Chain A
Amino acid sequence: MSDITKYTISIYTENNVGLLNRVSAIFLKRHIDILSFSTSQSEIPDVFRFIVVVKMTESGVKKIVQQIEKQIDVIKAFYHTDEETIFQESALYKVKSSSLFEERQIQNMIKDSHANIVTVSPEFFVIEKTGFRHETEALRKSLAPYGLLQFVRSGRISITKEKMGISEILNTFKQQNKD
């Protein structure tokens, strides 16, 4: 009944300067930890999509989504389990160039983990890896002994298996408010 599960909340919004603050305030007010947060353009022009990952009960996440949807500039919000979504994270790793040539294993690691080299300069090179958390994490652990100069991982981005129907909502509104 009160099982804690990882949920991905998707929020379709208008572009409004204060909206990020408004959405995060909903989590703050209820003392809920945000595991990951990302925003981007969505499939619809002028509509943005926030992806928030939280760990909580289903009844809890349902109430949060109701509160988010209540915000004026939010068009629609949903929550999904991992099984209901396709999701990925991206990570960047900055390593000294010298180690690429001195340590043959690094080249194998990059190949084995299906990572890409994005940039190479005389001083450093940058590797990019997109995948599940455990995959980007495994590569980080493997590279750590060779001196990671910088490491950064993005928030989760996610696409749902089910249809979202945002265009339909917006089209219905357009139909009803012709003047």
Chain B
Amino acid sequence: MKNQETNNISGAEAVIRCLLKEGVDLIYGYPGGAIMPIYDELYKYRDDLRHVLTRHEQGATHSAQGYARTSGKVGVAMATSGPGATNLVTGIADAQIDSTPMVCITGQVASHLLGSDAFQETDIIGISTPVTKWSYQITKASEIPEVLAKAFYIARSGRPGPVLIDITKDAQFELFDFAYKKCKAVRSYIPVPSLDITQVEAAAEAINQAKKPMIIWGQGVILGEAEEEFKNFVESSGIPAVWTILGLSALPTKHPLNYGMVGMHGNYGPNVLTNECDVLIAVGMRFDDRVTGNLATYAKQAKVIHLEIDPAEISKNVEAHYPVLGNCKESLSKLSSLVKHEDYTDWKQLFADHMQQEIEAVIKNDTQPTKEGLTMGEVIVGINKYTKGDAVIVTDVGQHQMIACRYAEFIKSKSNVTSGGLGTMGFALPAAIGAKMGAEDREVIAIIGDGGYQMTIQELGTIFQNKTAVKIVVLNNDYLGMVRQWQQLFFDKRYASTEMTNPDFVTIAKGYHIEANRVSKREDLDSALKTMLDSDEPYFLEVCVEKEANVFPMIPTGASVSDIRLK
């Protein structure tokens, strides 16, 4: 079909039109030489498509990730060739391992210069290949509609992930007749394996025989938009459920069958009882080593049911006796109709007993400390008091992340945004920007350590420029706390390069015209949190916490989940 408006348009304009066709209204990025034609079109289309200028390309990817995680839509990041493109790599790797839908568009030198070591030329396709779900280099404008349609389809379908599209500068300038058709399928790609009902029946049979079943759920529940089906499955079966860090918030924290977190710094009961359950029902999770500890001693006594969308995850780390491939939204509702309800009273009592031990040994000290120094735990509990669990919590990586995930309350899904698989320090501040833009009506609180904060601190500029009303809480212990903890426990307190001489964070925030405050005394904490949360604007709060506190429980590297330490 011929269309006056879309005939003879540039590749650059076609890119914008593709984004609009895909429902994109917000992108993050940073301009530069090889992507200037597209930025020129962004200027023309600025009323239809908002571009947020981050202060570093890594910030653009993490913002796009934060946006994707709270909105459920595909995040888009844009950068120029060379260093612009390589700066995206950390965020791409993070999105790959945490299954975040993201499309990255990079400019590239003109096609006749490819391979000539031209100014700002890097082989970004080669560099990003191992950390992308798919990637493609466009050298002709006519390829743009089909490739971008495919990029969005691949990024969001099945197990989501990052896609990188590299577009040479000549392809951006080239004129062609534009027509767009959404991608609905790719012949070499099966996004969602079809559900085998006999596998569901076999799994249900195993569940119905179980005396001590346990559910571990992961982010698959959120990515599959299966929160309702999951809750229904938990309630209709009566089985205690525990979560991986990325599964957090899919089921309300205070749900009576939510028994806490598994993994290295997870709760005591869920870890110990993993090695006592008779049926382990894994839903949309991938048995990461931080979850399993030593695989040789992980849940060996249990029959494992694995509900999973990605066939490559089946029996990758833990053998699945009952693999149930497909979207868990569908498999969970089928499963719910086949399982009988049990009270599992004695079994649940074991979880409660372990929790009591953990409260005495760890949680009381973390959340109601009697010693002088402020703890990270009491800050999180202080935040819960005002948010009542109705906030998006964005965390960075390290001690504060574990503490926040252990103690933050959630009543809504898509509320926990953190770098799980890659453990990317510097993630939280830019991710919080995207998280807020993806859920504008919600309170978004970034909780960050003093180390990670300084890795992407420049994004305060983005917050200021866009008046993004995120609340930033830096839990400052003047250490790279988690590494220091390991040095204390496993390296005879040799604190190699973990102590930090920090700047005046309040002054820095104020330099960006962001309201800022600092507390170091317990009696000031509550009012400081209240002031921050009452504000309608971006707000920075530094909390000076105990310098050498440790996060417990802890499964030492290589140990079994049942050898989790309370101190």
A67 to B311, CA, bound (A): 9
CB atoms of B133 and A72 under 8 A apart = yes
**B130/A29 in contact, CB under 8 A:** yes
Query: Which B residues are in CB contact (< 8 Å) with A74?
Result: 188
Stretch at the interface among A10-18, A34-42, A154-162: A10-18
Q: Looking at chain B's contact residues, is the secondary structure mostly helix, strand, loop, or mixed?
A: mixed
Interface status of A118 (Cβ within 8 A of chain B): no
Task: Give the contacting residue for B185; candidates A16, A22, A67, A177; CB below 8 A.
Answer: A177
B49 interfacial by beta-carbon distance below 8 Å: no
Complex CA gap A66/B314 in Å reads 9
Q: In the complex, which residues 183-223 of chain B have their Cβ closer than 8 Å to any Cβ of chain A?
A: 184-189
Residue B425 interfacial (CB < 8 Å) = no
Q: How large is the interface on A (under 10, 10 to 19, 20 to 34, 35 or more residues)?
A: 20 to 34
User: Contact check: which of A63, A70, A173 meets B187 at CB < 8 Å?
Assistant: A173
A57 to chain B, nearest CB (A): 13
Q: Are A66 and B316 in contact (CB under 8 A)?
A: yes
Contact B312 A70 (CB under 8 A): yes
Nearest opposing residue in chain B for A62, CB measure? B315
> CB distance A63 to B185 under 8 Å?
no
Contact A17 B137 (CB under 8 A): yes
Q: Which residue of A lies closest to B184 (CB)?
A: A177
Instruction: Give CA–CA (A63, B314) in the complex, Å.
Output: 9
Q: Does B154 belong to the interface (CB within 8 Å)?
A: yes
Query: Which chain A residues lie closer than 8 Å to B133 at the CB level?
Result: 72
Q: Does B134 touch A at the CB level, under 8 Å?
A: yes
B: interface residue count bin: 20 to 34
User: Does the CB pair B188–A75 fall under 8 Å?
Assistant: yes
Bound Cα distance from A85 to B126, whole angstroms: 33
B185 and A66 contact, CB distance less than 8 A: no
Q: Report A13-28 CB contacts with B as 1/0, cut-off 8 Å.
A: 1101110011001001
Q: A89 at the A/B interface (Cβ < 8 Å)?
A: no
Of A28, A73, A74, most B-chain CB atoms within 10 Å? A73
> A60 to B99, alpha carbons, bound, how many Å?
24
In this complex, the member of B136, B137, B154, B312 whose beta carbon has the largest number of chain A beta carbons within 10 angstroms is: B312
Nearest Cβ in chain A — how far from B200, in angstroms? 21
Are the CB atoms of A70 and B310 closer together than 8 Å? Answer: yes
Task: Give every chain B residue within 8 A of A28 (Cβ-Cβ).
Answer: 130
B399 sits at the interface (CB 8 A): no
A70 B129 Cβ-Cβ under 8 A? no
Bound complex: CA A28 to CA B129 (Å): 12
In the complex, whether B135 has a CB less than 8 A from a CB of chain A is yes
Least CB distance from A28 to B in Å reads: 8
Known: A18-B125, A21-B126, A22-B129. A67 touches B312 (CB 8 A): yes
Q: Report B93 CB to chain A, min CB distance, Å.
A: 12
Q: Report if A72-B130 is in contact (Cβ < 8 Å); known contacts: A13-B188, A18-B125.
A: no
**Interchain CA distance A177-B188 in the complex, whole Å:** 13
Instruction: State the CA gap A177–B129 with chains docked (Å).
Output: 28
Answer whether residue A135 sits at the interface, using C-beta atoms and an 8 A cutoff: no
A72 touches B316 (CB 8 A): no
Considering the chains assembled together, what is the distance between the CA atoms of A13 and B186 in angstroms?
Answer: 12
Chain B residues in contact with chain A, CB under 8 A?
A: 125-126, 129-130, 133-137, 154, 184-189, 310-312, 314-316
Q: Which 7 A-B pairs have the closest CB atoms?
A: A66-B312, A75-B188, A173-B187, A25-B130, A72-B134, A70-B312, A72-B189
24 CB-based A-B contacts, threshold 8 Å: A13-B188, A16-B136, A18-B129, A18-B135, A18-B136, A25-B130, A62-B315, A63-B312, A63-B315, A63-B316, A66-B311, A67-B312, A69-B311, A72-B133, A72-B154, A72-B188, A73-B188, A74-B188, A75-B187, A75-B188, A173-B185, A173-B187, A174-B187, A177-B187
